Amino acid sequence: MFIFSPAMHVGAKKIGGELSERLSTGGFRFTPQRQHVYAVVLQKRDHPTAEEIFIRTKRTMPEISHATVYNCLDALVTCGLVRPVQLERGATRYCPNMEEHCHYFCDACGEVFDVPLQKDSPMKTGLKGFKVDHFDIAVHGLCAACAGKTKK
Amino acid sequence: MFIFSPAMHVGAKKIGGELSERLSTGGFRFTPQRQHVYAVVLQKRDHPTAEEIFIRTKRTMPEISHATVYNCLDALVTCGLVRPVQLERGATRYCPNMEEHCHYFCDACGEVFDVPLQKDSPMKTGLKGFKVDHFDIAVHGLCAACAGKTKK
DNA sequence: TCAAGATTTAGAATAATTCTAAACTGGAGA
DNA sequence: TCTCCAGTTTAGAATTATTCTAAATCTTGA
């Protein structure tokens, strides 16, 4: 039987169960690779790219391949456990926070901040006949630290 | 002297003047290539990719190169005449509508709809110390036509 | 007119992602 | 238990999107 990676120290059993359930609901199998990738995405919620997730996953599963990381991420996205985030031209990032929130992106240092949406947003009914599935809100600018540096 | 392309039939002089002014304010030169690319982006506002813009621009300027289209688009973005839009993984799209608006994207047919933002959005003050430059809002789902097809 | 710097060009290079074919895995049924 | 099958993984090739490079060309200001 598969022993869960030491990287995943908090609520492993619960998260494993949730993952397993979601995967099978989505018609996917529960595999060690998917478990590792999901653990990596949950562990450091800094909106990593697929490449970054690949590197981190290799630490506990050195034989994992590039294509598998993409496959796992696609499965996780389809199952609603992870969201893809496009903040700039280039690599897609991944976010395991499935609450309704927006991303504040610092154009200077590249850091991403999750900010919950307070009120029910106006996107729900903005276009007649359009059936909304979800929305992505990216706010660009300078984070407090970078704004301070620039000003002086 | 450069004669403006027949593709640009409405308000050419005004748009040319606006373009010229914005470019020089941004420290760029006014070139035929930039004029053609901007005309193409204005002409059919269907959020084309750089590749699509390249193909359309070749119709009136067959010798233009790929790199130049990217260069021109970057200049236009920097000058605030065009916005880059990331709606999916893959190629960046370009939008010449500089009003505050969001993009409704049909995941079925790929069509993009501009929808103005009614009220002052809550993104202005969402994160303490963050200096907002602009925001991008993408709403995913099904357009009226595709939602109708799926339902039946 | 000339020089400096900006721009354009074709094509090479890089980055991000997807595809391919072969090997592997685990569960269903004999 | 054995075998088959579909799903999954793997390495590496292929594709797509974008950026880089170096040479040629163009503009602008002195």
Interface of B with A (CB under 8 A): 84, 86-89, 92, 102, 104, 106-107, 113, 115, 117-119, 121-123, 126-144, 147-148
Beta carbon of A72 within 7 Å of strand D?
Answer: yes
Inter-chain touch B131–A142, beta carbons under 8 Å: yes
pLDDT band at A144 (very low <50, low <70, confident <90, very high): very high
Give contacts of A49 with chain B, Cβ < 8 Å: none
Query: Which of B135, B142, B146 to substitute to test the interface with A, most A CBs within 10 Å?
Result: B135
3-state secondary structure chain B: CCCCCCCCCCCHHHHHHHHHHHHHHCCCCCCHHHHHHHHHHHHCCCCCEHHHHHHHHHHHCCCCCHHHHHHHHHHHHHCCCCEEECCCCCCCEEECCCCCEEEEEECCCCCEEEEECCCCCHHHHCCCCCEEEEEEEEEEEECHHHHHHHHC
Mean pLDDT computed over A51-57: 97
Residue A37 tokens, joined: 């990738």
d(CA B150, CA B141) in angstroms, rounded, equals 12
Residue A52 reports pLDDT greater than 70: yes
Helix (H) / strand (E) containing A95 = strand A93-95
**What pLDDT does residue B22 have?**
93
d(CA B60, CA A89) in angstroms, rounded, equals 28
Give contacts of B111 with chain A, Cβ < 8 Å: none
Mean pLDDT computed over A100-107: 94
Residues in chain A: 152
pLDDT in tens, B47-76: 999 999 999 999 999 999 999 999 999 999
Asked whether B48 and B84 are in contact (CB, 8 A), the reply is no
Q: Give the nearest chain A residue to B114 (CA atoms).
A: A127
DSSP code for A46: S
pLDDT band at A8 (very low <50, low <70, confident <90, very high): very low
Residue A89 reports pLDDT greater than 60: yes
Mean pLDDT computed over A31-54: 97
Q: Which of B102, B110, B95 is nearest to B145 (CA)?
A: B110
**Residues 29-48 of chain B sitting with CB below 7 angstroms of strand C:** 29, 31-34
**What pLDDT does residue B16 have?**
64
**What pLDDT does residue A149 have?**
82
**What pLDDT does residue B9 have?**
39
**What pLDDT does residue A5 have?**
39
Question: Which residue do the tokens 């621009």 mark?
Answer: B57
Q: How confident is the prediction for chain B on average, in pLDDT? A: 87
CB atoms within 10 A of CB B17: 12
Give contacts of A92 with chain B, Cβ < 8 Å: 89
Domains and CATH numbers, chain A: 12-85 (1.10.10.10), 99-151 (3.30.1490.190)
**What pLDDT does residue A7 have?**
40
Q: At CB < 8 A and 24+ separation, what contacts does B58-67 make?
A: B59/B7, B60/B5, B60/B6, B60/B7, B60/B36, B61/B5, B61/B32, B61/B33, B61/B36, B64/B33, B64/B36, B64/B37
pLDDT in tens, A67-80: 999 999 999 999 99
pLDDT < 70 stretches in chain B: 1-16, 118-125, 150-152
pLDDT band at A33 (very low <50, low <70, confident <90, very high): very high
Residue B38 tokens, joined: 């901007």
